[in-house]
Amino acid sequence: MIATCSNKTARILALVRLIPEGRVASYGQIAGYIPGVTPRMVGFALAGRGATDGVPWHRVVNAQGGISGHAAGAEQRRRLLAEGVAFDSAERIDRRRFGWPGPDPATLVEMGLDPAAAFALSHRDQ
């Protein structure tokens, strides 16, 4: 069971923790599940996350399936490759193949989110 999250950063981190190994989600997809959250806010919430806090930050990519320009870009790419995620010649990930479809409705309800609204918003950049 997932505890209900009361603030936006906690909800962002809880959603990112659900992305399984070998899958990716976009900043916009994660933002879409949480009212009032933008893709940029997701990026800020993930900035500086390390391997020790249990947040697989490396599984969140931009809407085009690429790694956004940041200091940990090489590390993000290395981690994704280690999980079996492939990049094409343009350094993009095929989100149809490696994309995470998102949490099930029951999980969203447990997190205090509206599944119908979240689904519509989270798929806006697909």
Least confident of 10-24, 42-56, 96-110: 42-56
Categorise residue 36: left if φ over 0, alpha if ψ from -120 to 50, beta otherwise. Answer: left
Categorise residue 84: left if φ over 0, alpha if ψ from -120 to 50, beta otherwise. Answer: left
Q: What is the C-alpha separation between 95 and 69, in angstroms, rounded?
A: 19
Q: What is the pLDDT of residue 101?
A: 92
Q: What is the pLDDT of residue 120?
A: 61
On whether the CB atoms of residues 126 and 101 are closer than 8 A, the answer is no
pLDDT tens across 8-44, in order?
A: 999 999 999 999 999 999 999 999 999 889 999 999 9
Domains of the chain: 8-122 (1.10.10.10)
The 8-class DSSP code of residue 83 comes to T
